[in-house]
């Protein structure tokens, strides 16, 4: 792989189900991010990680959790999905907290 | 409060016309600003960052601290410029990017 990948590409999920969105980068970037994109609201930061082993909360963290066990992977988990979590989710990474984030292709999630 | 405002949700121009996508920011420190572009259903791509002072695909943006603006400009729009454009500010205690709500640019033939 080259760059940053996300899986799945899209998913329809029943409310109350648990879901993990995967994100992997092979650029050895230290910082990684999860954003959600909603029409009329732009992109909002959910969680971030400045380096492996650390995570932090963004603007809209409720209902989401993340882990950063290694440099390459930054999964986002919805413990119990709700319809308001219907969105397009973008993972991004940067070589440092001062770098410009490079975005993944996104995951389109629909919660019914 | 740190904030990025893109006042236009939609901007429609004809091919060959000049384009200006507006971005205003609110930030107490020394700002670092970016423009990202998103073509239909694709990933966001970095277009410009003000510290590099580059011109990409004919687009330029100048940071105006007096007016707290970072407007994106292109003298002659092309149909392939049709996309969603996001202005972003590096802010917050961790230096994360704060995005505006975006402007959809439509270039008509």
Alpha carbons B109 and B82: distance in angstroms, whole number: 11
Provide the mean pLDDT of chain B. Answer: 91
Of A41, A100, A104, which is closest to B43 when you measure between CB atoms?
A104
Q: Where residue B30 falls among pLDDT bands split at 50, 70, 90?
A: confident
Token duo for residue A14 = 């029943």
* Interface touch B43/A48, C-beta < 8 Å: no
Find out whether B26 and B6 touch, Cβ atoms under 8 Å: no
Distance from CA of A30 to the nearest CA of B (A): 13
Distance from CA of B43 to the nearest CA of A (A): 5
- Residues of B whose CB is below 8 A from A102: 46
b/e for A17-36, b at 16 or more Cβ within 10 A? eebebebbbeeebbbbbbbb
In chain A, count of helices (H) and strands (E)?
0, 11
Cα angle B77-B46-B58, degrees, rounded to a multiple of 5: 30
Coil, helix or strand at residue B79: helix
Nearest-CA residue of chain B relative to A88? B41
Find out whether B107 and B13 touch, Cβ atoms under 8 Å: yes
φ/ψ of residue A25, rounded to 5? -130, 150
pLDDT above 70 covers a percentage of chain B that reads 98
Nearest alpha carbon to residue B44 among A10, A6, A70, A110: A6
Please identify which residue in the block is written with the tokens 């650390």: A54
**Backbone Cα Rg of chain B:** 13
- Interface check for A58 against chain B (CB to CB < 8 A): the answer is yes
Find out whether B55 and B102 touch, Cβ atoms under 8 Å: no
Per-residue pLDDT of chain A (112 residues; tens, 9 = 90+): 579 999 999 999 999 999 999 999 999 999 999 999 998 899 999 999 999 999 999 999 999 999 999 999 999 999 999 999 999 999 999 988 778 899 999 999 999 9
Per-residue pLDDT reduced to its tens digit, B51-61? 777 778 899 99
């Amino acid at each position: 792989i080259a760059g940053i990948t996300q899986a799945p590409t899209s998913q329809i999920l029943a409310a109350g189900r648990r879901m993990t969105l995967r994100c992997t980068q092979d650029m050895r970037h230290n910082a990684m991010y999860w954003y959600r994109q909603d029409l009329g609201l732009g992109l909002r930061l959910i969680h971030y990680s400045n380096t492996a082993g650390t995570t932090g909360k963004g603007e809209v963290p409720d209902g989401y959790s993340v882990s950063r066990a290694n440099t390459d992977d930054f999964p986002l988990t919805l413990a119990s999905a709700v319809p308001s979590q219907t969105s397009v989710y973008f993972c991004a990474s940067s070589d440092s907290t001062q770098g410009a984030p490079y975005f993944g292709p996104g995951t389109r999630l629909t919660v019914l | 409060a740190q904030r990025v405002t893109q006042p236009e949700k939609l901007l429609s121009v004809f091919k060959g016309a000049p384009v200006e996508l507006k971005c205003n920011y609110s930030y107490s420190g020394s700002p670092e600003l970016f423009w990202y572009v998103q073509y239909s259903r694709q990933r966001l791509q970095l277009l410009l960052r003000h510290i590099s002072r580059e011109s990409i695909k004919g687009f330029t943006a100048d940071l105006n601290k007096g007016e707290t603006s970072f407007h994106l400009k292109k003298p002659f729009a092309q149909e392939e410029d049709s996309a969603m454009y996001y202005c972003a500010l590096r802010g917050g205690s961790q230096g994360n990017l704060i995005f505006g709500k975006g402007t959809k640019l439509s270039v008509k033939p």
